[in-house]
Amino acid sequence: MTGLTTPIPAQVPMTEGLVDLGNVRLWIWDTGGAGEAIVLLHPRSGSGEFYPYQLPAFAKAGYRTIAYSRRGQNASELGTDADSYFAADDLFKLMDHLEVERFHAVGNALGGYIALDAALSRPDRVASIVLACSMMGIAEPEFLKTLQSLRPKGFEQLPEELKELCPSYRAAYPEGAAEWKHRHERAGTRSPVRLRNKITWDLLADLRVPTLLMTGDADLWMPPYLLRQAAEKIPNSTLMIVRDCGHAVQWEQPEIFNAAVLDFVRTKARR
């Protein structure tokens, strides 16, 4: 079970701190450099701190790697327009601030909603998207009905680590599960995430940005069966199912995740 006991690696030098976008200040991690940019978009349960395995690996592969915490999470502020902003707008404003014209967006879970929304809104700026363990904000009634049927009454009250980390990972790497839980607990207030697009099958059929879809075989939120349904609707998409993995693929199986993302960015995402 490769990756289940992978220790957190030493981090590469990076810029860390708040950046002022005018209407909000967001906390970022930026490895810098002249390489293509990979932007990491975190799940609802966490913050930009959820990518200690990816920042050094992607930077050492030659990419400028950027992670940030959404509004209210980790050290990011809620901002002056917390009731009306669009999450993809924050992403583009941050890229403008960092002088990044085009980038690869890697979104986990709720972060995948934002990556997809950004790609649909500004395909000229998004070179590729990775949607990992993400329900993508799909608004199709039958799809939503199936998703809801998978989460019976009481599911939301379960401990977050039970909902997101698979049993194999929790059994093999309790220290990693404890660290994940610690980072989750200090992530802070979760602000609403608003999308510019209503994600329908018809809209996904028009997506032209290269897309890698990934989920764990034990993901309770986005199981392989449902991800395959979505993959059939997205042209130019690649599908990957990761074994011994739940909803936090970048944390539970970082070696597999990193290799898949880098291979995709280097090859399938080229135009």
Average pLDDT over residues 41-46: 95
> How does residue 45 score in pLDDT terms, banded at 50, 70 and 90?
very high
> How does residue 77 score in pLDDT terms, banded at 50, 70 and 90?
very high
pLDDT of 271 above 60: no
Average pLDDT over residues 248-270: 93
Q: What is the pLDDT of residue 192?
A: 83
Structural domains of the chain in order of their starting residue, each with its CATH number: 15-266 (3.40.50.1820)
Q: What is the pLDDT of residue 4?
A: 54
Q: What is the pLDDT of residue 1?
A: 42
Distance CA 246, CA 253 (A): 9
What spatial distance separates the first Cα and last Cα of the chain, rounded to whole Å? 34
User: Above pLDDT 70, what percent of the chain?
Assistant: 97
Helices (H), the chain: 54-60, 87-97, 110-121, 141-149, 160-164, 167-172, 174-185, 201-205, 224-233, 249-252, 254-266
Distance CA 123, CA 245 (A): 30
Residue labelled with tokens 């099958």: 201
Q: If you average pLDDT over every residue of the chain, what do you get?
A: 94
pLDDT of 82 above 50: yes
| Ramachandran assignment for 30, one of left (phi > 0), alpha (psi -120 to 50 degrees), beta (any other) | beta
> DSSP character for 12?
P
Q: Decide: pTM greater than 0.85.
A: yes
Q: What is the pLDDT of residue 105?
A: 98
pLDDT of 156 above 70: yes
> How does residue 5 score in pLDDT terms, banded at 50, 70 and 90?
low
Condensed to tens digits (0 to 9), the pLDDT of residues 167-200 reads 999 999 999 999 999 999 999 877 789 999 999 9
pLDDT of 3 above 60: no
Residue labelled with tokens 């609707």: 233
Question: Residue 232 corresponds to which amino acid?
Answer: E
Q: What is the pLDDT of residue 215?
A: 98
**Considering only CA atoms, which of 192, 137, 136, 185 is closest in space to residue 160?**
185
Condensed to tens digits (0 to 9), the pLDDT of residues 219-233 reads 999 999 999 999 999
CA-based radius of gyration for the chain: 17
Residues 6+ apart with CB under 8 A from 44: 109, 110, 190, 193
The 3-state secondary structure of 41-102 reads: ECCCCCCHHHCCCHHHHHHHCCCEEEEECCCCECCCCCCCCCCCCCHHHHHHHHHHHCCCCC
Residue labelled with tokens 């994940």: 180
